[in-house]
Every structure is written in C-alpha cells, then in structure tokens.
Structure 1
Amino acid sequence: MIKVASYNMRKGIGTDRRRSPERILDVLREIDADVIALQEADRRFGERACVLTPHLLADHSDWQAVGIAKRAQSMGWHGNAILVRKSARIDACEAIHLPALEPRGAVRADVRTASGCLRVVGMHLDLSGLWRRKQASAIIGHVQDCAAQMPTVLMGDLNEWTAAAGCLRDFARDHDFAVTGPSFHARRPIARLDRIMVSRDLRIVDCGVHASAAARKASDHLPIWAMLDAI
C-alpha cells in the first residue's frame, strides 16, 4: 500500500496572504504521504527560487525532492515538483515539455519504495481548455513512450471545471480517477480542479481531500490524497 498526494501550494502564500513555507510543511506532515506532487512550488519571478528550501526539507521533514529542477535555486520545473520519502530510491526522473502559450510543464519520476515501483507524473495544466487537451495528449504520449512500463499515477492541478469532458475524458481512456472531492477554493471548496488518476494495474483503496484548519489557511487549494495498492 502506498499513499500519494497532490497539492497546489500557491508558492507558500496562504489565504491570509502571508507566505509561510513552514505552514506548508505542517500540512504535508499532516497528510504524511509517501509521494507528493506539488504545483507552484517555486516563486514565479527572478531566480524561480523554491519555497520549501533544501534546509527545511533536510532538517524538518521525511522527504527529499526529486532532482528535476533546471535552475539552481528551483525545486521543480515550471513550479511542478515531486517529493518522495528519504528512504525511497529514484530510478529515473525527467521534465516533460508541454505545448502552451505561457510556460507550462510536467514532471516525471520513477520511484522505488518498500511497497514497489511507481511512475509518478505531476502537472499543472493551462487555463484554456484547448491547451489543456494538447497538454494531456503530450503527457499521455510521454508515458506511453517510456521504455519500461510500470504502475503509474498522474496527479496535479488540471484547471478543469467540467465533470467529465475535455482533458478529463482524454485521461479517462486509460486511467481511473480517485473520487477525492472539491479542493478549490480552500475556504469554501466547490471545484474539483485537483485530480489523482491511476493506471489500471493500481487499485484506489481510499481517497479524500485534506481539509484541516492548517490546510484551509496554507494555500488557496486543499491537498488531495489517495491510498493505492497493486492489482
């Protein structure tokens, strides 16, 4: 059994407009997932510096960041990052270039844990439905083109407001969705913008939205999570 989570951390800026990396880390500790896909993990301008610094992760958490960053001060690629347990082994990782009018990307890691091997893709898709579908196609194609196939989890902020259309229909051809519930806006969640999708060699045992008091303040999105088992 493995626990995965996805969290748009909004560059550490909470609903009270304060930036607090420590508060984000508190929420991640509450979730206590083995693998976490983060969106908006880096600042937007300048050196795109990471919000959760290497010091914070090394000294105050059980996770390590997958080495996908293209900039010295960043954690991720266009704000997308993946955290895994320090006990896990990262067999491969890669930034995925996505078609877009504005900078967008996804990230992939092949992770070996005590529960087995898992391919993880983290993403933050476009606000435009047309570009979301193009980006979904690029992600699906990337996964299909990987030399070795393995159980796969796709997760992130899809920015899709509709229930079963657009990019959701594209992903659904080969993946099952965790029914996690609304995660946006954190103060009053009404939209299921954040999604966890799994290949059909994985079983979703349990899933949900993490709606603690800390999570409602730490970002404008609530984290989502799922417990997975191999079939």
Structure 2
Amino acid sequence: MISGEHDGGHQDVVFPMRVASYNVHGFRDASGAWNLERTAAVIRELDAHVVGLQEVICLRDCPLNAQFGDPRSVLADLAALTGHHAITGINMATGRSPCCNALLMRELPRDVTAQDLSLPGREPREVVSAVLGTEEHWLRVATVHVGLGFAEREGQVRRLVELVEKWGSERTVVLGDFNEWNPLSRTARRMARDLGAPKSGRTFPARFPLLPLDRMGATPDLRLRNAHAHRSALARKASDHLPLVAEVAEV
C-alpha cells in the first residue's frame, strides 16, 4: 500500500471524472465518537472515482476496544466498505505522524509515490499521489494536508507547486485540506494562480460550515467543474469537515 508500480489491467481514464477530498478526522465526529462505518457511508454518498483523505487514522484515534496494531488495517477496512483500493504514504507506514493521508481509488493505479513536504520543527507532512489509466490516457491524483501555521502553509504550498511543476506535462489534480480560511492570503492566491484552484464551498466546521479549508487544484489542461461541499445530514455528523466534490474535465 506504499509505493511502486502495479502491472496490467489498466483502463483509459475517462472524463469527466468525479473526485472528492475529505478530512475524516480520524473517523471521529465532533463529539469524539469513533465510527468507521459512518465515514464509509458518507464516502459511498459521494460516488467519486477518487477520494483524497486526510487525518485517516492512527492508534491514538482507535477506540480502546478496537486497537488494530497497524493503522493500515483500518484503511483496508474502509476500502472494503467503500469498494475502493486504498493507497497510503510514508507517514502511515512508518508512524512518523499522527495524521496520515490516503487515496481511495476505484481502480488500481499504475504508479504510486509519496513526497515529504515537512518543514523543520513542524509536524511531518507529505503528498501522496498515484497515476490512473494507461500510458495514452492517464491522470495523476494527489492528496495533501497542509500545516496550521501561516508560514508553514505558505512553505508547504510552495513546495507542492514546485512538485507539480516537476511532474511536468502530467495532468494532475490535487485534493486536500489546506487549512487556509482567507481567500485573499498569499497561499490562497498562489493556489488559484499556480494550481488552478477554483472557489469552493465552506467545509468547516461540518455542522455549521464557515471556512473553506478544503480545496482542489488542477493543471491548466484540466478543469474542475462544480466544486462544492457535500452537505448531507450524514456528512454533518461523520467528521468535523464536510467533503469537497468536483468533476474533472479536459480543457
């Protein structure tokens, strides 16, 4: 579930493709109750081909009667409940961070990578990405969870933009919790300019959403249509964030 190439059986990417970003808050709701099945039900509501997850799980978040020994087993359970394949990064594999990222994908990707975005003295952060499709028709999807500090957010978004540029001609969609509430900040403006991040719905706090902390971006050869917060009754209870959903289309 970490990195590498997967052989055979790949299908061409077909647009438009429905994608989502969801900070699942360790599968705990606002009251602190742990409920993996409820999170899975929200993800099924999204009906998304790819879901970028943040704050997936760690042993700290598991209830005392459900200590799994390896947090990846919890993600495997989530994948089984939603009918997706689960892709994780270095933080979950090594226990470097209490908040880990993952991708849920309906099809196995061709390639999976995880790059460190951590800044000195701050909590470990990473971007997990995977390439879907064939060599002729493909899409890279990445998920990220940016830090809370102003300088931390700015530095990590700058490194993320550099990474997307390094991928070059690859069509890329970025899904994440960017912890950025101010649409006029330098971080938000960089995301709009360099990651093509459209205006999207308010996602936090889930019960009475006031802040657009969760965002999406795409390279210039793609367009994100109808980006919006998924505001079902179940989503308002399952996490402290609402999921963000959009359609990816070719320009």
SS state at 1:136 partner: helix
* Counterpart mapping for 1:1-231 below 5 A: 1-43=16-58, 45=60, 49-50=71-72, 52-58=74-80, 60-72=81-93, 78-85=99-106, 87-113=107-133, 116-146=137-167, 149-231=169-251
Give the AA of the match of 1:23. R
- Identify, as 1 or 2, the structure richer in helix: 2
Runs of 5+ in structure 2 lacking a partner? 1-15, 62-68
Query: Is contact 1:104–1:125 with CA below 8 Å preserved after alignment?
Result: no
Aligned pair in 2 of structure 1 residues 26, 116: CA closer, same or farther (>3 Å)? farther
- 1:73-118 per-position Cα deviation (integer Å, ceiling 9, x unaligned): 87x9941111111x34232322333215332312232322489422
In the TM superposition, what is the alpha-carbon distance from 1:220 to its structure 2 partner? Answer: 0.5
**Sequence identity, in percent?**
31
- Identify, as 1 or 2, the structure richer in strand: 1
* TM-score, scaled relative to structure 1: 0.87
Structure 1 residue runs of 4 or more that deviate by more than 6 Å after TM superposition: none
Count of aligned positions: 227
Aligned pair in 2 of structure 1 residues 62, 43: CA closer, same or farther (>3 Å)? same
How well do the aligned residues superpose, as a CA RMSD in angstroms? 2.5
49-58 vs 37-46, which moves further: 49-58
- 1:202-226 per-position Cα deviation (integer Å, ceiling 9, x unaligned): 1223221111111000001000011
Runs of 5+ in structure 1 lacking a partner? none
Structure 1 CA distance for aligned equivalents of residues 29 and 120 of structure 2: 27
Which residue of structure 1 aligns with residue 13 of structure 2? none
Structure 1 CA distance for aligned equivalents of residues 173 and 71 of structure 2: 27
* TM-score, scaled relative to structure 2: 0.81
170-179 vs 1-10, which moves further: 170-179
